[in-house]
């Protein structure tokens, strides 16, 4: 149920209230609005309003506030909400710059593709296709040639109910593949939640850690990432246990996911990870139903307030099948492109995909439309 938000509501908020300031009302021609719109980081996405939500005593109240009026609404807030609003506004506007991945520089002023390379026998979409190391390396080079800025190598399936893989087996699956791709100049990410696998992959040439548990599954993983000084992807999952899909009971899925990622960003920063090297992923499909996933896609811009690049991973997810007569995983390309186009339109900096060439083409069309709107 929708509850409208007023300045009086803000002024009377309790000390336990939380504020969420999401960019809204995106615009194609910011130059026609003078100072009535703002830019998300250093992306090609501008917005003309804030969707302000107050979460207090179990009730969420919301209002859409034009950019020029935002300061007046902040003035009506108690001090703890003023601090939240200021930090979230600053997070949205902070440039994300680039990721330096060995000799590769991945600029984040437009969406970049992360190609998925699962060297597993049982992943939900492509399990068993790349278990041979030579074939996997060839597939990784193909992803890079097709337009992937980063190739994400994973040695353990994280589909619902998948068995936990012993660290040694996971290392055996990924180590030679990571090394072969890295030697060939590919920027490699390691998709794992285990510290030992992270260490082996980083030693073999991986440049990013992509952890579905947001460094919660393994007690040593934080230490490994801090020591390596590498970028890390923190993904939301409702559980840090063996089955990351366990749980998933939300009061308000967008805000619950946001709160968890905000806590993990703060924990990683406190542990010594450079904030500029933290990437967040809302974890589409992990312990989330169709309605939950749709809410996350529609509210994706909220995660910009964390001040981190956003990685969005909707490729071939069950959400697409649920919306299209239970289409099987290998027949979800159209839905994948639609989801990632939507994410790009909300300023997502990285898109994790199986089908690189097709999504690269969609992004080129997206970029062409943005350029035309800015210059017409």
* Cβ proximity of 209 and 230 under 8 Å: yes
Picking from 299, 284, 212, the residue whose alpha carbon sits closest to that of residue 22 is 299
- Tokens found for residue 94: 């902070």
Catalytic residue among 94, 216, 332, 352: 352
Four-point Cα dihedral 62, 64, 68, 69, nearest 10: -40
Residue 288 is among the residues annotated as catalytic for this protein:
no
* Cβ proximity of 104 and 181 under 8 Å: no
Residue 39 is among the residues annotated as catalytic for this protein:
no
CA distances 221 to 116, 192, 215, 279, 295, Å, are 22, 10, 6, 16, 30
The CB density around residue 1, as the number of other CB atoms within 10 Å, is 4
CA 215, CA 182: separation in Å to the nearest integer? 24
CA 10, CA 359: separation in Å to the nearest integer? 42
Picking from 236, 150, 238, 157, the residue whose alpha carbon sits closest to that of residue 188 is 150
Question: Residue written as tokens 């309003």?
Answer: 49
Catalytic residue among 317, 318, 332, 370: 317
Question: Which residues belong to the active site?
Answer: 317, 352
């Amino acid at each position: 149920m929708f509850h409208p938000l007023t300045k009086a509501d803000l002024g009377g908020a309790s000390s336990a209230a939380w504020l969420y300031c999401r960019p809204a009302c995106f615009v194609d021609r910011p130059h026609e609005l003078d100072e009535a719109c703002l830019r998300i980081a250093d992306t090609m996405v501008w917005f003309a309003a804030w969707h302000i939500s107050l979460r207090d005593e179990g009730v969420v109240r919301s209002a859409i506030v034009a950019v020029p009026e935002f300061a007046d609404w902040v003035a009506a807030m108690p001090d703890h909400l003023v601090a939240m609003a200021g930090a979230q506004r600053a997070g949205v506007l902070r440039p994300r710059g680039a990721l330096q991945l060995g000799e590769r520089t991945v600029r984040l002023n437009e969406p970049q593709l992360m190609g998925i390379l699962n060297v597993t026998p049982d992943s939900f979409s492509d399990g068993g296709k790349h278990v041979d190391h030579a074939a996997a390396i060839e597939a990784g080079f193909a992803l890079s040639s097709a337009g992937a800025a980063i190739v994400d190598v994973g040695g353990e399936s994280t589909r619902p109910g998948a068995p936990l893989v012993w660290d040694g087996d996971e290392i055996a699956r990924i180590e030679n593949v990571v090394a072969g791709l890295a030697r060939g100049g590919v920027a490699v990410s390691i998709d794992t939640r285990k510290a030992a696998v992270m260490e082996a992959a980083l030693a073999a040439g991986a440049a990013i850690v992509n952890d579905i548990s947001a460094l919660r599954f393994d007690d040593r993983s934080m230490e490994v990432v801090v020591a390596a000084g590498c970028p890390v992807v923190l993904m939301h999952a409702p559980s840090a246990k063996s089955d990351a899909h366990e749980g998933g009971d939300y009061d308000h899925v967008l805000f619950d996911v946001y709160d968890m990622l905000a806590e993990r960003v703060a924990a990683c920063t406190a542990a010594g990870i450079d904030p500029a090297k933290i990437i967040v992923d809302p974890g589409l499909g992990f312990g989330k139903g169709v309605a939950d996933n749709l809410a996350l896609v529609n509210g994706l811009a909220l995660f910009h307030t964390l001040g981190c690049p956003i990685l969005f991973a909707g490729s071939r997810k069950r959400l697409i099948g649920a919306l299209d007569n239970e289409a099987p995983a290998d027949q979800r390309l159209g839905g994948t492109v639609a989801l990632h186009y939507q994410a790009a339109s909300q300023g997502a900096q990285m898109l994790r995909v199986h089908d690189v060439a097709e999504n690269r083409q969609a992004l080129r069309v997206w970029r062409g439309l943005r350029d035309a709107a800015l210059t017409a």
